[in-house]
Amino acid sequence: MASSDTTATRAGGRHGRPWRAAAAAVVVLLAMVGAGMIGASLQTEPPPRPPQPRAQSAPQTPVASGVPGQGQGQSRDGAVKAAPAALSRSDPRTISIPRIGVDAEIMSLGTNPDGTVQVPPLDQAQRAGWYSPGFSPGEAGNAVIVGHVDSAKLGPAVFFELGALQPGDTITVTRADGVKATFTVDEVRSFPKASFPAELVYGPNDKPALRVVTCGGQFDQATGSYPDNVVVLATMTA
């Protein structure tokens, strides 16, 4: 995840105003698009390709909040679960994603002096990061959690397998107040970095929702970066 990714900064700057205490992040909405870039670029051999979402999203209009299939908490049997009442604000402490074996600590992130979103240090690539100027998991709104896909020092990182998630999978975030907020995956999509859906990720939502973001696509050895972002859209269901 490279906070100095200039392509990411330009892409983020094209998308409307940020929401919830993110006024300083007008051009930053996606500094995290370089997840794993710094570490991967130091490797002499191409890293293994992380799993990719089944449905790739070409640069098209992102799904709007509240439409069928997104923001409804759809279970594996197709039943739509009503979202529970929103929780009060509380910092997240850990994230658990059973399907891909993730059980990781979460650190709080803000913005860098240049307005880009902070990312976990590469020597802590097995930890996830919560964008703290935004909503906390369980509040009404989109809580954003980011993480590296890989690292030259550690290899596959916390969200290496993120693209393997499927609708109906669960993500549980344990909060500082002891509450475990469980989110059901609605969609897993891949977006070119230049078309990152900032409003879909950081924009308003009247339901408690979660956005989990890392890098995706085939690592480009020449540029030392991944071309895409994998974005998981999930809604709190328990």
pLDDT of residue 110: 94
Calpha distance 31→50 (Å, rounded): 20
pLDDT of residue 172: 98
Residue pair 192/80 in contact by the 8 Å Cβ criterion: no
Owner of token pair 């799904």? 63
Number of residues in the chain: 238
Domain positions in the chain: 6-236
**H or E segment to which residue 99 belongs:** none
pLDDT of residue 181: 98
Residue 118's SS3 state is: coil
Calpha distance 15→28 (Å, rounded): 10
> What is the mean pLDDT, run by run of 10 residues, along the chain of 238 residues?
33 31 37 38 57 59 38 54 86 98 97 85 95 97 96 89 96 98 97 92 95 92 88 97
Calpha distance 60→45 (Å, rounded): 33
Q: Class of the 6-236 domain?
A: mainly beta
Whole-number Cα distances in Å, 15 to 195, 199, 236: 10, 7, 26
**H or E segment to which residue 208 belongs:** strand 208-216
CA-based nearest residue to 193, from 53, 83, 32: 32
pLDDT of residue 49: 74
Residue pair 184/234 in contact by the 8 Å Cβ criterion: yes
Residue pair 209/141 in contact by the 8 Å Cβ criterion: yes
pLDDT of residue 97: 98
